[in-house]
Amino acid sequence: MGGMSAEREISLMSGSGVLQALKSRGVDAYAFDPAERDLGELKKEGFDRCFIALHGRFGEDGTVQGALELLGIPYTGSGVMASSMAIDKVMTKRVLLAEGLPTPKYVLLRRGAYSVADVDAVPTTLGLPLIVKPAREGSSIGLTKVVDASGMAAAVEQAAKLDADILCEQFISGDEVTCPVLGSGPDAKALPVIRIVAPEGNYDYQNKYFTDTTQYIVPCGLPAGEEAVIQDMVVKAYRTLNCRGWARADVMIDRTTRKPYLLEINTSPGMTGHSLVPMSARAAGLSYEDLCIELLKTAALDYKQEGAA
């Protein structure tokens, strides 16, 4: 928990919740903050497995997963490649599109390599409003909804402070939903879809974690058949990226056509009091504590080492 990303504060909240849950079920569990301690201490102190409650860079992007592979310590969540692909929203889009899975149109700008004309051309390509965000941040950090072309430059500049790759994305107007997945490979199953109704449609960092004005509706109340279509699509995306253990996919449903579009897949979802995976699990009859224990059971390595138990 903790770590060095822009989402450190949320990770500490997630980790505290998970730690308390594991301890309440008799697990010999301890907090470990890689921003403050060397990962090698995990091996020296003989830990059997790691529950990853890190979010963002150096925790959700394959780096800590790779370190744990080298240490031979099984960990929760996706492996090195799935983690590194899923955190990169542009790479995720490329993989989804290659597999015929729907995702909003986009334009990629690279810091230091785009011109004023490139920025000005984006609204023509994608239409307005549109979304600008860093390619590898979570929790809506650095995200701007651009409603007028005059706001493009500032939005791109803000995202460029956080990432070398700036994702400009078509805005899908309609229902915002999220769908968690538990399990691996053929055993992966979607949990209930949650419909998110944020104040003025603004589901930003503040409204995600620090206010109680956002509504989370589960059962989602979507028209008949839509939830099943979204769950099927999300599981396909999860398997396509070779995710394992758990993840959560964010989806927008076009208000007019009712077509769902995949936005991104989070391979280390939040576990705070406002988080959505525990909420969906609870709707499926799985308590927060049971969810943590089930996830801990899935801890694994991409590559089992010679002589490992």
Residue 226 annotated among the catalytic residues of the structure = no
Burial (CB < 10 A; 0-12, 13-18, 19+), residue 242, is: middle
Catalytic hit among 264, 268, 280, 288: 264
- Please tell me the distance from the alpha carbon of residue 183 to that of residue 181, in angstroms, as a whole number: 7
The alpha helices in the chain, defined as continuous H runs, are 8-24, 40-44, 63-71, 80-87, 89-98, 116-126, 152-160, 205-209, 226-240, 276-283, 288-297
Tokens of 264: 């991104």
Tokens of 187: 């055993």
Catalytic hit among 209, 238, 261, 288: 209
- Please tell me the distance from the alpha carbon of residue 192 to that of residue 256, in angstroms, as a whole number: 23
Residue 255 annotated among the catalytic residues of the structure = no
- Please tell me the distance from the alpha carbon of residue 8 to that of residue 55, in angstroms, as a whole number: 7
- Please tell me the distance from the alpha carbon of residue 40 to that of residue 38, in angstroms, as a whole number: 5
As a whole number of Å, the CA-based R_g of the chain is 19
Catalytic hit among 78, 83, 139, 268: 139
- In the block, tokens 């729907």 appear at 102
Catalytic hit among 2, 7, 165, 169: 7
Catalytic hit among 62, 169, 248, 275: 248
Catalytic hit among 270, 275, 280, 288: 270
Residue pair 249/181 in contact (Cβ under 8 Å)? The answer is: yes
Residue 266 annotated among the catalytic residues of the structure = yes
CA-CA-CA-CA dihedral for 108, 54, 237, 110, to nearest 10: 10
Residue 209 annotated among the catalytic residues of the structure = yes
Residue 84 annotated among the catalytic residues of the structure = no
User: How many CB atoms are closer than 10 A to CB 70?
Assistant: 12
Catalytic hit among 5, 83, 184, 266: 266
Residue 270 annotated among the catalytic residues of the structure = yes
Residue pair 236/247 in contact (Cβ under 8 Å)? The answer is: no
Catalytic hit among 250, 261, 268, 275: 250
Give the total residue count for the chain.
Answer: 309
Catalytic (active-site) positions: 7, 139, 209, 248, 250, 264, 266, 270
